[in-house]
Amino acid sequence: MEINDAHICGRFHQIENDERGSSYSDPTIYGNLNPSKETIEAIIRTLEEGSCNGYAPCVGYEVARQAVATYLSHDGVEFNSKDIILCSGCSSSLDLCITAIADGTKNHNILMPKPGFPIYRTLAESIGVGVKTYNLLPEKKWQVDLLHLESQIDDNTAVIILNNPSNPCGSVYDENHLRAILSIARRYQIPVIADEVYEQIVFPDKKFVSTAALESGVPILICGGLAKRFLVPGWRIGWIAVHDPINAFDDIRSALSSLSQKIIGSNTLIQGAIPDILLKSPQSFHDDMINTLCENAKVAYEAIDKVPGLVPYMPDGSMYMMVKIDLDKFPHFETGLQFIMRLMEEESVFCLPGDCFELPGFMRIVITLPGDIMKEACDRIVNFCNKYYT
């Protein structure tokens, strides 16, 4: 059988799903990154109180929505509980947002980044909505290629999806770049879905800026959740925050609230704990995780930067680093996928192929591992490359 890229990406996901759950973006698998004590206590208290065992309103309990609104209100942004809808993970938030904005029967399309998180395409195509991609520029810290973004917009473009900080790139956009992107959205009157599930996961000298903070005049649906920053992806809690400075989203608000009936509300036990999880987890908890990520990023960058034939791109945040595979230097392999498969077979080092993010010739390294495993993985990559480099 001819094995194509889709098969192999499928196989990678299969291996992950079989062996470790859906682990390819899961920071908890090695046990070195754990939720805060405050998070655990909040769950225990909610459980013991017994007040969150019934159905909540589909959009979420008022206290939980208010807590998310308070949590997201900073840098001049003000959210109100009525702007918040709780969902079953950030993926479910993205699902509701894409469904509310884009209509397959009207030939709509969405624009997503390339490389980008594959679920945007899955969610859009499953409801008959088309997908177009805009390029990110590796040599410019994975900033959006603004000219390309603009060239991809057509009369049927319903929404631009922006992912900052980025999976898989580890990029963190500064205010100027975000403004430049939003000014294109504004010029063409296209709303934005901002996937900010890695909000605040930025390295010490970097700053996270939410698109909502920029007073761009663009209606934005912010998607986020507990999964990454609070290290509980399996708890399946996400949110949508409606930022609508020009009151263009009244019908989108009601569509989202109708669509939330599809999931009959998100997990109520976690909802009961949300105020304490969000507002009581101490800064030291967040700092510890970021220090781990930052340390690992440095270790991996330094090791891989020395390897002829590989080009690492230093991340500024999120949980990943992209690495370019210079195939001219590895004539044993015709494609990046072959290289990655062999690396897995021979060294048991598992990197997701860029193909899974629609960017062949790259691989994505996860930087959430314990330090010693990170070093070991890098050593093995170096080993492997020395063997095949010519």
Ligand X SMILES: *Cc1c(COP(=O)(O)O)cnc(C)c1O
Residues lying near ligand X in the complex (CB under 6 A): 25, 89-91, 117, 163, 167, 195, 197, 225, 227-228, 233, 238
CB of 91 to ligand X, least distance (A): 3
Q: Which residues 6+ apart lie within 8 Å of 373 measured at CB?
A: 30
Write out the H or E segment, with its range, that includes residue 193.
strand 192-195
- Of 71 and 117, which CB lies nearer to ligand X in the complex structure? 117
- Of 135 and 167, which CB lies nearer to ligand X in the complex structure? 167
CB of 226 to ligand X, least distance (A): 7
CB of 141 to ligand X, least distance (A): 17
Asked if 230 and 256 touch (Cβ cutoff 8 Å), the reply is no
What whole-number distance in Å separates Cα of residue 193 and Cα of residue 191? 7
CB of 119 to ligand X, least distance (A): 7
CB of 18 to ligand X, least distance (A): 19
Asked if 134 and 285 touch (Cβ cutoff 8 Å), the reply is no
DSSP string of 248-289?
--HHHHHHHHHHGGGTTSS-HHHHHHHHHHHHHS-HHHHHHH
What whole-number distance in Å separates Cα of residue 212 and Cα of residue 196? 11
- Of 101 and 303, which CB lies nearer to ligand X in the complex structure? 101
Task: Give the Cβ contact number of residue 33 at 10 Å.
Answer: 18
- Of 25 and 46, which CB lies nearer to ligand X in the complex structure? 25
- Of 46 and 167, which CB lies nearer to ligand X in the complex structure? 167
Closest by CA position to 226, among listed 217, 236, 240: 236
CB of 92 to ligand X, least distance (A): 6
Q: How far is CA 54 from CA 6, 208, 236, in A?
A: 42, 36, 17
CB of 26 to ligand X, least distance (A): 8
Closest by CA position to 235, among listed 273, 267, 261: 267
Q: Which residues 6+ apart lie within 8 Å of 143 measured at CB?
A: 136, 137, 171, 173, 177
What whole-number distance in Å separates Cα of residue 66 and Cα of residue 241? 11
Tokens 């669509």, located at residue: 259
CB of 246 to ligand X, least distance (A): 26
- Of 224 and 303, which CB lies nearer to ligand X in the complex structure? 224
- Nearest residue to ligand X, scored by beta-carbon proximity: 89
Encoded tokens for 237: 């809690």
- Of 237 and 310, which CB lies nearer to ligand X in the complex structure? 237
- Of 158 and 201, which CB lies nearer to ligand X in the complex structure? 201
- Of 262 and 332, which CB lies nearer to ligand X in the complex structure? 262
CB of 353 to ligand X, least distance (A): 16
What whole-number distance in Å separates Cα of residue 368 and Cα of residue 322? 14
Asked if 356 and 118 touch (Cβ cutoff 8 Å), the reply is yes
CB of 170 to ligand X, least distance (A): 11
What whole-number distance in Å separates Cα of residue 203 and Cα of residue 291? 8
What whole-number distance in Å separates Cα of residue 324 and Cα of residue 312? 6
- Of 90 and 293, which CB lies nearer to ligand X in the complex structure? 90
Omega cis (within 30) before 165 = yes
Asked if 313 and 138 touch (Cβ cutoff 8 Å), the reply is yes
CB of 335 to ligand X, least distance (A): 24
- Of 117 and 384, which CB lies nearer to ligand X in the complex structure? 117
